[in-house]
Amino acid sequence: MTDDVRIETEGKAARIRLNRPKAIHALNTPMCLAMADALAEWRADTAIEAVLIDHAEGRGFCAGGDIRMVQESGKGDGAAAREFFREEYRMNHMLFTYAKPVVAFMDGITMGGGVGISLPAKYRVATENTKLAMPETGIGLFPDVGGGWYLSRLDGRMGEYLALTGARIDGAECLALGLATHYLPSETLEEAKRRIADDPQTIEAVLGELSVEAPPAKILEHRETIDRLFASDRLEDIYVALEEHGSEWANAQLTTLRTKSPQTMKVALKLLADGRTMPTFEDEMRQEFAVAAHVCQRHDFIEGVRAVLIDKDNAPKWNPATPEAVSAHMIDQIFAPLPDDEAWTPHR
């Protein structure tokens, strides 16, 4: 077990409380293992009727994964990086397939790995503090932890827009897009947790009663434009559409895209195109693990983490530097399935 996550029970509910405040509760391998062990134990415990996931202290719900460790491993043999992704995705899959209701409280920053532990939940609570994003293309990674599954199932081309730009959306926008199921004022969260723990059979009623009307979702003002300009699965076409549109908003998106890794933007587009027709979430996780195993040792990820998180010069030198230079062969290599003895498998 690890001090970075608190595993507790309260009444008839089990609690997973992320407890790594200095890292905004970013997930590491021991945390993923502890969460999976607890979920496995509670599965057969008839005294536990629901699982609540939140953060114990400090700001933010979960800022992602232990990316610096992954990068350090990727510069070497990549073994620790692959272990992290393997265990994180197993825990994600357990949440996705969990028979008991799971309630995730996305109060604050919910990015990357935080999205991976909240979107599988049956109940996903956003607040006025929620800031959700999948910003991975900015560090040469890709929207993983099921991103290919969840984002591809949003209406229109909203998923492609979020995956490519890494745009941050607030709680009202999460609710409008269906990423959250309820919108509660943060001051009512403790009451919600207490009442749910007392009687998990009333989750629906409690969350409904404490919900308030969310503010207008600003992203919906751009929905038709997003659907039109991000319509293609070819990155080059999206660049052309944005350039030709020429509006202030389109130019801002183009400026954003030019800061991202062309390679991993193409990975993201293929991931969502494949994700739309992926038979099961297990298949999705198997593919994402193969992609992660390849990407974490490639130049763009090593360089992106250096530029954004380590040196913080925010001037990554992507290679290839342009969408046109990212070949179909390169994307095929990244998506190549792993040998059976290395492939991802769920917890049995």
pLDDT in tens, 250-303: 999 999 999 999 999 999 999 999 999 999 999 999 999 999 999 999 999 999
Establish whether 108 is a catalytic residue.
Answer: no
* CA 176 remoteness from chain centre: 18
Burial of 246: CB neighbours in 10 Å, binned 0-12, 13-18, 19+: exposed
Establish whether 144 is a catalytic residue.
Answer: yes
Establish whether 311 is a catalytic residue.
Answer: no
* CA 131 remoteness from chain centre: 12
Greatest extent of the chain over all pairs of C-alpha atoms, in Å:
60
Q: For residue 139, is pLDDT > 90?
A: yes
State how beta strands 169-170 and 131-133 pair.
antiparallel
Among residues 23, 24, 43, which one has the least CA distance to residue 35? 43
Tell me the CATH class for 5-334. Answer: alpha beta
Whole-number Å distance between alpha carbons of 122 and 98: 9
Establish whether 65 is a catalytic residue.
Answer: yes
What stretch of H or E contains 177?
Answer: helix 171-177
Of the listed 11, 60, 64, 65, which one is catalytic? Answer: 65
Segment 303-312 mean pLDDT: 96
Packing angle between helix 235-245 and helix 248-257, nearest 10 degrees?
A: 150
What stretch of H or E contains 281?
Answer: helix 281-295
What confidence score (pLDDT) does residue 173 get?
98
pLDDT band at 2 (very low <50, low <70, confident <90, very high): confident
Handedness of CA 291, 297, 302, 303 (dihedral sign): negative
Of the listed 11, 64, 74, 113, which one is catalytic? Answer: 113
Of the listed 107, 144, 284, 303, which one is catalytic? Answer: 144
